Chains A and B, each alone.
Chain A
Amino acid sequence: MTGSGNNFYQVFHEFQNISFLLIASIIAGAFLMIYILQRLILALAKRVPGKFRLILPPMIPIFRLTILIAAFFSIVPLIIKPTVQNFIAIFGAVGLTLGFAFKDYFSSLIAGIVAVWEQPYRPGDWITVDEVYGEVQSLGLRSVLVLTPDDTLVNIPHSKIWNSSISNANSGKHTHLCIADFFLDPRHDAQAVRRRLLDVALTSPYLQLDRPVNVMVSEKPWGTHYRIKAYPVDGRDEFHFTTDLTVRGKSALSGLGVSHVTAPAITLKD
């Protein structure tokens, strides 16, 4: 017992030889560097033109992870005698203990590292995870912060990437597909309605004209379902864009004398 206890202590440097000041400086330096880099990148992202604004923020978690790893590997040799056996022993013991106690937390941390490299989402992306839809505000080591259309911030742990499907609407691009729905009484000239809705989209000031615009039509038991599919110039305008399409679409359709189907009919699901 005493022997194994001695072996355990042999892994570490003598207490009086450990430079706690240096360790504290490394930790403080690492967090200071992260803070400065984060501010610098965010300031730069605000100054670059709109179409480049999504390029810079995704670099933040990469830099943060790199700095933290560098800090970690700078600190470990200051505490542990740097031999292979020592590293295996100490990481094994710590890993086993913490793994049981903070299984989910560490799962999220590991998933956070995977998320940095695989990039299933980046700041500025519009994602859906377990029915939560919103814009990615920032990536932490443990979780991703999402702002929903209702202006609510939702913290989603990265570990969701292990077992949930993640829908990403724009995947790092400046814009993403938006859809405006119209549910109409089936007794109408579909050609005329489709043409009209196409014009509604093509004349919206929010429209990104370099991306395709489509009006999809499908017949349902309760009526005819029209979907305008188009991209706004700026993905952040998604709700203004779909509102604009809906308002002007309704006005244009009323000019054609087409009536909308009402709620009781819609409740009969597809």
Chain B
Amino acid sequence: MKDLWQFIPLGSYERLSEPKSEIARKGAKAFMDWLRRRKPAGVSVDIHAELRSIPQQMLDTVAPPPDWEDKTVALHDAVLPWINAEKPEYTSQVIIGAPGSGTRQTMEQLSLSHKWEFIEPPSPTEILTGGKEWLSVIKDSENTVVVIPELERCFIRHTDGLTLVRDFLDFVWERNQRYIIGCNSWAWSYLSRVLSIDSQFRNPLILRPFDGQRLEHWFRSMAQTTCKHTLIFRQSDNGEAILTVNQADGNKKEKSETYRDKESSDLLKIIAARSNGIPLVAWAIWRNCLQISADAIIEDEAQRAAKMDQGLTIWVRPWAQTELPAIPHEISKTDVFVLHAVLLHGGIHEDVLPMMLSIQQSTAVKSLQRLLQAGLIKEENGLWRTTLSGYPAVKKYLAAEDYLTDML
């Protein structure tokens, strides 16, 4: 038995790799595309979800949105020895989270349950004017533990945008209070290069990446909480059972924070590798795989395998047929800068972009619209963020073009 949610030191983080069969398939496909002078898949976004065979409600039942309860417990367990230590080695604990790893939500839940001071990030205007008031809130806090959940939103990549985070880091260094600082993995990379934050905080923790086994258990435990039927997820081409959610076990459900070692299917291994082991990204891809088009052909072999199923069969699209957002062929330099800025800050206000990138407001808006059309970004509460299913393509592209990416 192993813990499903585990926080590990950043230095122990290991990247997941795809199964060899998938690497070979991708290589062969790239070669064939090249021979046919066909460019790799461009914009292919699932914007017609309503045409899919699974209605949204059903999708939310078989692959529901996650809650972060178990992750919060894991984070609590990870920081507890440090919180309880009388004289800890360091006064600040950094928690690094990749986009879509739910770090903010977890830290918020943890703060609420322990009544720790939870400090929302400053506004862009506050950042650009030095943010003295925001800093004074932290300075004046008498709580034993102060939680700053989003360091990535405490600076702006602008000439005036680094002063506040510099002052904050200097201040934290000098104080004896306990600080739990959440930081996006992309911002961590940037601030490590620009402000050497990695030498100031030498012990950051990060969520252990979700491999195929972890994903299998996680998807099963989430489905068990919302679905009353036995579910068998089968691949639509060969009928392979990817995942079985057995409601007979529902009442004596496994504790969701633990799971057994068991070989997972190749599809889940591919999802794990493609999502970089980031839970929410993997979850978004998984949901995408469940959205088989209404007129999709289920192979005879798969139908024969499903005949014996004692429960509801859910067809899963094979990986080769998965449609995830891709980088448009004619992507402009501004688009690339916007994507990079969005990731670096874990989401960005539209108004900040012209100032950051020295471009016109209209240029920024057009760029955002292009990226929105491509399914790579979306707006949430006034912030533009990369979509979960578009994140792998964006990261791969930026890395290939030699832009700074996160270290994961």
Contacts and interface: CB of A to CB of B under 8 A. Distances in A.
A47 B34 contact: yes
A56 to B, nearest CB: 13
A210 interface: yes
A95 B162 CA distance: 67
A203 B157 contact: yes
A55 B356 CA distance: 33
Interface residues of B, number: 21
A251 B355 CA distance: 12
A50 B400 contact: yes
Indicate the size class of the contact surface on chain A: 20 to 34
Given A205-B356, A209-B193, A51 B402 contact: yes
Interface stretch (A15-23, A59-67, A150-158, A194-202): A194-202
A234 interface: yes
A233 B403 contact: yes
A210 B192 CA distance: 11
B402 A50 contact: yes
Contacts of B403: 233
Contacts of A209: 190, 193-194, 404
A51 B397 CA distance: 11
Interface in A163-220: 174-175, 196, 199-200, 202-203, 205, 208-210
B100 interface: no
Contacts of A234: 401-402
A47 B30 CA distance: 10
A258 interface: no
Interface of B: 34, 157-159, 161-162, 190, 193-194, 333, 337, 340-341, 356-358, 400-404
A196 B401 contact: no
Given A233-B402, A237-B333, 15 more contacts: A49-B400, A49-B401, A50-B400, A196-B159, A199-B162, A200-B159, A202-B194, A203-B158, A203-B162, A205-B340, A205-B341, A205-B356, A209-B194, A247-B358, A248-B159
A248 B404 contact: no
B400 A51 contact: yes
A50 B358 contact: no
B375 to A, nearest CB: 21
Nearest to B344: A205
A205 B345 CA distance: 13
Contact of B401 (A47, A210, A233): A233
Interface in A217-248: 233-234, 237, 240, 244, 247-248
A208 B162 contact: no
Contacts of B190: 209
B343 to A, nearest CB: 12
Nearest to B337: A205
A174 B402 CA distance: 9
Contacts of B357: 205
9 contacts: A199-B159, A199-B162, A205-B157, A209-B190, A210-B193, A240-B333, A248-B358, A251-B159, A252-B159
Nearest to B357: A205
Contacts of B404: 209-210
Contacts of B358: 244, 247-248
Interface in A106-160: none
Contacts of B341: 205
A44 B33 CA distance: 12
Most buried by B among A51, A199, A205, A252: A205
Contacts of A208: 402
B289 to A, nearest CB: 27
Nearest to B33: A47
Contacts of A44: 34
Contacts of A203: 157-159, 161-162, 356
A200 B190 CA distance: 15
Contacts of B333: 237, 240
A107 B140 CA distance: 78
Contacts of B162: 199, 202-203
A244 B355 CA distance: 12
A250 to B, nearest CB: 11
A202 to B, nearest CB: 5
Contacts of A51: 400-402
Nearest to A248: B159
Nearest to B396: A49
Contacts of B402: 50-51, 174-175, 208, 233-234
Nearest to A240: B333
A251 B333 CA distance: 23
Which of B157, B337, B400, B402 has the most C-beta atoms of chain A within 10 angstroms of its own C-beta?
A: B402
Nearest to B156: A203
Contacts of B159: 196, 199-200, 203, 248, 251-252
A103 to B, nearest CB: 45
A8 to B, nearest CB: 52
Contacts of B194: 202, 209
A199 B194 CA distance: 9
B357 to A, nearest CB: 6
Contacts of A205: 157, 337, 340-341, 356-357
| 4 residue pairs, one from A and one from B, having the closest CB atoms | A49-B400, A51-B402, A50-B401, A205-B337
A51 to B, nearest CB: 4
Contacts of B401: 49-51, 233-234
B247 to A, nearest CB: 47
Contacts of A175: 402
A243 B158 CA distance: 16
A237 B34 CA distance: 28
Contacts of A210: 193, 404
A200 B404 CA distance: 17
A209 B161 CA distance: 17
A248 B193 CA distance: 20
Nearest to B155: A203
Nearest to A175: B402
